[in-house]
Amino acid sequence: MSRAAGIPAAVRLREVGPRDGFQNEPEVIATDDKVRLVEMLARTGVRRLEVTSFVRADVIPQLADGGEVLERAEIPAEVAVSVLIPNERGLEAALEVRDRIDEVNVFLSASETHNRHNVNRSVAESLSGLERVIGRAGGEGLRVEGVISTSFGCPYEGEVAPERVLEIAAALAAAGASEVGFGDTTGMANPIQVREFFERAAAELPGVELTAHFHNTRGQGLANVLAALEAGCASYESSFGELGGCPVPPGATGNIASEDLVSMLDGMGVETGVSLESLLAAAREAQRVLGRPLGSHTLVAGAVEWEPR
């Protein structure tokens, strides 16, 4: 199928299910299962894979085996492995497996209230600490993505001014982040808002890779992807099986499903390099491991058949 004018010819995808997805699961997933799922995802054709997070085990017990997963998983060399780190202590832990990772992702919220709830710091305090982390990580040869949660709205404060988000993004870039991810943490974004935001971000942050991270809490995730595409955004994060999500909104679903995203992009003629069938196989295995149906639409409906039956 032909691609619409103005839409990027290809996009870069980062699969975040092993971190963002797994950390929200109430039952601890066996390390063997995590390793197997990471290896399946690494062979889908995806070129960026967020495997774990180096946070305190008492905060997120699910990811306490992150170092072991990284050591054991056989990941092709062409796949850039990333980990999420909250602070300098997390960076120290990540550096212990430096030979297994290529990128680190640091994070803070655009809204003061969400940042306080999430990391018990003001935005200014978080930014000051992360600037040091970014500098050290860069000195170790690691590529850095700065992730800004609640970029499109806060469940506590409501509207978040784009100016504030872009000011934080500029500070992260100035500290050495090559990429800035904008998170729709609780699925509050709408397509018009998204298009306008990414058009403005592209103008104000030249040379920085801009990444969209949408949640499907209110069923608008893929509509927001289309709006970001129309604004020229060519980098996205998603989670296989629609795993993950923010616990704040009642009944919230997870991130946009990787297989739904790839299915849509394939149909639009946008190159991802990802095998939809391999991705669906990984989601089916995750469904078996977790013992429950997952929220991905393509997992239920299957790949689109363009030829008449």
The residues annotated with a catalytic role in the active site are 246
Token pair for residue 218? 């209110």
How far apart CA 213 and CA 33 sit, in angstroms, is: 25
Please say whether the beta carbons of 145 and 105 come within 8 A: yes
Neighbour tally for 48: CB within 10 Å = 21
Instruction: Return the closest-CA partner of residue 143 out of 110, 173, 109.
Output: 173
Angle between helices 258-268 and 276-290 (to 10 degrees): 160
How far apart CA 42 and CA 20 sit, in angstroms, is: 16
Phi, then psi, of 302 in degrees rounded to 5: 85, 175
Please say whether the beta carbons of 263 and 303 come within 8 A: yes
Instruction: Return the closest-CA partner of residue 35 out of 83, 64, 75, 62.
Output: 75
Please say whether the beta carbons of 88 and 129 come within 8 A: yes
Residues 6+ apart with CB under 8 A from 245: 24, 215, 217, 252, 253, 254, 255
Token pair for residue 232? 């020229």
